Structure 1
Amino acid sequence: MTDPIIRAEAFVCRAPIAVPVVNAFGAMAERVAVFLRLTDAAGHSGWGEIWSNFPTLGAEHRARLFDAFIAPRLLGRSIADPASFWAESDRALHLWGLQAGEPGAFAAALAGADLALHDLGARRAGLPLWRWFGGTEGGPVPVYASGLNPDAQALAQIEQARAAGHRAFKIKIGFGEQRDLATLRPVFASLRAGEQVMVDINQGWELRTAARMVRVLDEFPLAWIEEPLAADRPAWEWAQVAAASAAPLAAGENLRGTREFHQALAQCHLEVVQPDCCKWGGASAILPVARAILASGRRYCPHFLGGGIGQLASLHLLAAIRGAGVLEMDANPNPLRSLVVDPVLRVTEGRVALPEGPGLGTVPDLAALDRYVVLRTRRDA
């Protein structure tokens, strides 16, 4: 008999940063994360993370959604099958999300809870999370440095990421043709043998601009072009941009729901598909989507840009699925990531070895994170 969950906690963390992380629609002047901890009657704990990057002021709101709507569904229950709980709760919360006009916030709160349930189950079983997910290969996972700012910062950040062991880099563009080219030309002139570059527009172009700019970008041997259009633009627009582009198109972080992912696969405009396990679906919904991505001949490359719990969960998901995917690792300063992952992850020649411990492979050091915690919620059975 699985021990019942007796405590559900959320920790909202905020960390100031000296240099904002910019993209085509705004900037982050601080790093935020919402970490979750579920504890059972035997004293085992599992950790999850709720996506809360944009807008950062919404982090407390999402933590409170978890506390008010999801924690009561967990407490006192013995949950041996997280996927069943996710499906049940997704149905139950659907109308709440519609009525509130924010299904994404409810989906992210449930995703974080799902990740915590899987981590809890893996720790109970004494298994690393990737093996709990059904993985069979424990070798290193390829990674890339993400979130690199435009202009001269890109070149400097690539040098830093290279020194940290990265061999692939993703740069934010979408700031106008002249500025984008001025960012990319020095970068490509500086690349070493075997290194790769991706670009991310963060949904910043409309169709006419996107169709023109992907041809401009033919100047560079890009590994992929990410989100050249808004995620909700019609399939014919995406198809037109894909036909104009020499580089593969990537997207997926802003798709939400199994149907949306399967529609994107059927429409064939994406070669790289990037679901975010903290934004929608947790592990329970992402695992079958990721398998479908591989079965369709595409690359599953999990999106992530947040705290350390989500970073580790994304690593374990990719390790379980494998294929030709690479793991996104934010290269910007973020203590909410580094305090969690640095003790267990090190990039070597563009790869990271999997943590050896059960579950995520580490337990977050709450004493080290305490200075960043601005809100804590707790419910007990």
Structure 2
Amino acid sequence: MRPLPAFPSIRLTTVEAIVLRVPIDEPVQTSFGVMYDRPAVLVRLEDDQGAVGWGEIWCNFPSVGAEHRARLLESCVAPILLQQAWSHPTQAFEELSRRLRILAIQCGEPGPLAQAISGADIALWDLVGKRLGQPLWQLFGGASRVRTYASGLSPTAPELMAAAKHDEGYRAFKLKVGFGAERDLHNLRTLRDLFGSGTSLMVDANQAWTPDQAREMSQRFAEFNPVWLEEPIAADYPIEVWQQLAKSTPLPLAAGENLRGAREFSDAIRSGALSVIQPDLGKWGGFSGCLEVGQHAIDSGIMFCPHWLGGGVGLLASMHLRGAFGDRDYVEVDSNPNPLRELLLPPGLKVVEGMVTLPDSPGLGLSLDMNAVGEFRRPHAY
């Protein structure tokens, strides 16, 4: 556990999930599926001192995922959190993980349950930061400035979105690939021509290829000098396959958003197959798990670049997670329109020459006005 200044234990009185959905004009495309709206599941905790903490649960897929994860939080996670006082957020994270492990196996849902636990962990840390009067980046001994990249550039005219994001202050960009070799190569060439050789470009295949296809495409992408090739193959391929791919590709490999558990992350980092590790704190671990992943990655000399594709609460948490280790490497910021990102972020959080400065206010630095997103709230009770 990360040491905390002395403070009274946490006794929760409220554990609540809030489901939000907002329609979008342009679907968000990946190699494995399409998002036709933007969902978010917020976690709201309140303790017996009146302090409130906010978290967010990853919920993008399947299309009913948000409502389902909200029910998991309230039916499985909340009763445990309300049973006792907690001396530390990580104590709650470990107890939740232990108590729900067999249920996760029995119902075949280790991922969704881990995601519900993660959202609660984020909210607990936000609450603790508020109780202690410190922003989380400071509580973790880090820095307020974090480096960003604009992600999610779609396969349809990505240069238009990239140019708009450059005007907003972004200086690094990640392209979605896995839509056919010629289309992928055309898009990557167009971006490189647009920005020149000095701009950082990344590519994300979202597990689209076989190992042989990944080797071929990495060779073809190499002339454009991307910083990394993300998830070229399925995340659950044996680590030996990832190691073989790493030896045969000219590009650094990145992965982590679809890893779950301390052992999986530790094995991936120790394998030498990855040059970039990308945990998603709303999918597994929250801060309690992902801070240790980040320390292990940095100690091992590989890049630590948290993943996020969701609403503003989780994005801000990802920024604090990256900020815990200083201003090197990157945190992901989705390029696609999403009111649940902009409306939930603190006002004034801007990208300037690729960098964001996190707020000095306690916890995550949020002061949420739920009236601003009230029209997007959706029921989730049975």
Q: Report the TM-score when normalising by structure 1.
A: 0.95
CA distance in 2, matches of 1:3, 1:97: 26
Shift of 1:218: 1.1
Q: How does 1:287-302 map to 2 (within 5 A)?
A: 287-302=291-306
Match of 1:80 in 2: 87
CA distance in 1, matches of 2:249, 2:290: 28
Q: In terms of mean alpha carbon deviation, does 184-193 or 81-90 score higher?
A: 184-193
Residue 340 of structure 1 aligns to a residue whose secondary structure is coil
* Pairing 1:178–2:187 present: no
Q: Deviations over 1:212-236 (max 9, x none)?
A: 1111111211011000011111223
Q: How does 1:205-224 map to 2 (within 5 A)?
A: 205-224=209-228
Residue 64 of structure 2 aligns to a residue whose secondary structure is helix
CA distance in 2, matches of 1:173, 1:183: 9
Maintained 8 Å contact 2:146/2:327: no
Maintained 8 Å contact 2:135/2:363: yes
Partner amino acid, structure 1, of 2:156? D
Maintained 8 Å contact 1:215/1:244: no
Give me the identity figure in percent.
46
- For 1:116, which of 101, 120, 123 is the aligned residue? 123
- For 2:149, which of 119, 144, 151 is the aligned residue? 144
Maintained 8 Å contact 2:252/2:275: yes
Q: How does 1:34-45 map to 2 (within 5 A)?
A: 34-45=41-52
- For 2:141, which of 135, 149, 158 is the aligned residue? 135
Match of 1:228 in 2: 232
CA distance in 2, matches of 1:117, 1:111: 10
* Pairing 1:364–2:371 present: no
Match of 1:98 in 2: 105
Maintained 8 Å contact 2:343/2:372: yes
* Pairing 1:262–2:262 present: no
- For 2:340, which of 316, 336, 339 is the aligned residue? 336
CA distance in 2, matches of 1:323, 1:247: 24
Shift of 1:3: 5.1
Match of 2:25 in 1: 18
- For 1:240, which of 224, 238, 244 is the aligned residue? 244
Partner amino acid, structure 1, of 2:153? L
- For 1:107, which of 114, 130, 133 is the aligned residue? 114
CA distance in 2, matches of 1:246, 1:338: 37
CA distance in 2, matches of 1:275, 1:81: 22
Q: CA RMSD in A?
A: 1.3
Shift of 1:182: 1.5
CA distance in 2, matches of 1:296, 1:323: 17
Maintained 8 Å contact 1:151/1:179: no
Unmatched segments (≥5 aa) in structure 1: none
Q: Report the TM-score when normalising by structure 2.
A: 0.95
Q: Deviations over 1:191-224 (max 9, x none)?
A: 0464211000000101111111111111211011
Q: In terms of mean alpha carbon deviation, does 181-190 or 107-116 score higher?
A: 181-190
Match of 1:375 in 2: 379
Maintained 8 Å contact 1:145/1:328: yes
Residue 188 of structure 1 aligns to a residue whose secondary structure is helix
Q: How does 1:277-356 map to 2 (within 5 A)?
A: 277-322=281-326, 324-341=328-345, 343-356=347-360
Match of 2:36 in 1: 29
